[in-house]
Chains A and B, each alone.
Chain A
Amino acid sequence: MTALSLKNINKSFGEIQVIRDINLDIKPGEFVVFVGPSGCGKSTLLRMIAGLEEISSGEFWIQDRRADQLPASERDIAMVFQSYALYPHMTLAENIGFPLRLGNQPKEIIEKKVQEIASILRLEKFLDRKPGQISGGQRQRVAIGRALARDPKVILLDEPLSNLDAALRLEMRIELAKLHKQLEATMIYVTHDQVEAMTLADRIVILNNGEIAQVGSPLDLYTKPANTFVAEFIGSPKMNLFPASITEGHPGETKINLIGSSSNLMVNKDIEPNNELHLGIRPEHMTPSDEGAIKGIVTSTEQLGSDTYIYFDSETKEQAVARLNGITAIRTGEKISFDASQEHYHLFSPGGDRIN
């Protein structure tokens, strides 16, 4: 088990800075997930950890060894590529055994290890085939198998499940979680699927535009998003952010005005008066109520069976959304009003940072 540590890491391609001042300590055996929108620098950060991309400035440590100048082959870090990158001219057995062959291991040991990995990943039947003769899901497993061959202490995975269908994805996700327990390896996993992130991660790192927006356990990010970016990124459908203002407060109690609406919400907290706040409420925390402070007209509904999403134009904000359990009879065009209990309020400053 290996700890990794990134200190003030920056990366520029020519003039363009794509990674900005990343500080991150990864504990031994931890499962860390990088998420973020496309182009935010997840792959680049992962490639810097792997040693495929030079670090423009900053320090990278593996355990207590400075590693930014260490060649990729000496880092003892395995990686599953976004594109699988299987060797097309080798059989699956040769693909999986390749890292061992480079390590000059005797044939019998390589064979034994390949068999072992193949049985974990249920690939025994295909070992004599070439990558061109198997399905996408099987290729995926071969790519993971090759990463496991050397018993690496750190495994990096770049969107490994992005090419699979939903059922296989779920299956592989569970498989990966099991593997992580079994191998006791440190894993860093890149995805832009937040379900994968929430279910697999010990800790999630949310990246936005090359910077860390927030680091924390999945539930931390859900219950206490540090800023509006994280608030909107985690959770589906995404959090409603209502423009709001606070004009007066009594000790122990603050009145929040929703802009454009006559109704107020009360919280039992002291908050500084401010005119340009955002009040965040997750769709699943909105409960229909006749006297609710958030009023609007339903524009569309989506019935998922287990849940119903209700999209409505509220007085404060267009296209707000609420998520109700089960099937509801609410129709487009109806007037509707919602309430939410105050422990589910998220207040953000005009700059987007969380106010406690």
Chain B
Amino acid sequence: MIQPSKTQTIIVYSSAITLGLILLCPVLWLFIMSVSSTKDLTTLPLQWIPEDISFENYIKLIGDVDSTSAESFLYALRNSLIVALSATFLSLCVAIPAAYSLSRLPGKRRKSLLFVAIATFMMPPVALVLPLYSAMASLGLLNTHIALIAVYCGILVPFTTWLLKSNFDAIPIDLDEAPLIDGANRLQIIWHITLPIAKPALGAAALMAVLMAWDEFFYALLFTNDIRAKTLPVAIADFAAGRVADYGLISAAGILATIPPVSMAYFLQKSLVSGLMSGSVKG
């Protein structure tokens, strides 16, 4: 390993710290808001460091189960978890074989299929929302998890397929042919060879999918109308929609809402490390 020079080290570290600060500042501010009193937040000039720290907002959201804000927050959390995880799981179930076939199997028309899939991903939601809404309405699916899961799968499948396909493409074709010779069928190849090798990509795809579903606001706002199906972004927006917006409460909800995806990212980070390919083929 070549020893980096001192200036190089300084530049790298200071850039990293700057980037980290830029990314973390809003979160830090969100946190400060969530533990400040309403008075501190509304005085001018702004009170950057709150005088007294209180976790009252958090208690309102998850401690005091009978309050209306806790009810809407906890139901929204449950709905978000169900919708995001199911949509991700279903999308991956479809995207894995789809990506494999696009990457490995012959045929010119497959390539245009991928293009169509990506094109649907590019389409703005506004273009689709009306027909989707009337379809859901006539199926009686409005304000249900299924409606959101179905719509999110429509968004996630093209995205995850494309992401996985480009990763499968990087795996040498020999690693498909060798198991074929060893007596494996296509599904066994995917299960025993392709997926374990593409584990980092799979983790990344799952994480991105969960995040996209977790953050989605537009369809969730239109297709849900009460605690049975409202997801977190909608619920948080509801807190802001009253006569007086309780910034502290909104911030606390925001902080809590980031915990599930962040912890998921934390646990997946080990599998996100790449470099699994080494030693497989010569050259």
Binding site for B on A (CB under 8 A): 50-52, 71-73, 77-79, 81, 83-89, 98-99, 102-103, 130-134, 136, 139, 146, 149-150, 163
Contacts and interface: CB of A to CB of B under 8 A. Distances in A.
Contacts of A130: 279
A136 B183 contact: no
B137 interface: no
A275 B110 CA distance: 59
B181 A132 contact: no
Contact of A163 (B188, B193, B277, B282): B282
Interface of B: 172, 174-175, 177-185, 188, 192-193, 196-197, 199, 276-283
Nearest to A99: B182
Contacts of A77: 181
A132 B279 contact: yes
B183 A73 contact: yes
A102 B181 CA distance: 11
Contacts of B178: 79, 81, 85, 87, 146
A150 B183 CA distance: 10
Nearest to B277: A88
A5 to B, nearest CB: 20
B56 to A, nearest CB: 50
A78 B282 contact: no
Nearest to A149: B182
Contact of A102 (B175, B184, B277): B184
Contacts of B179: 87, 98, 102
Question: Which 4 pairs across A and B sit closest by C-beta, in order of nearness?
Answer: A132-B279, A131-B279, A132-B278, A85-B174
Contact of B197 (A89, A98, A163): A89
Contacts of A84: 280-282
A86 B182 contact: no
A133 B278 CA distance: 9
Given A83-B281, A86-B281, 9 more contacts: A71-B180, A73-B184, A81-B178, A83-B172, A85-B281, A87-B192, A98-B192, A132-B280, A146-B182
A130 B283 CA distance: 17
Given A81-B174, A85-B175, A87-B175, A73 B185 contact: yes
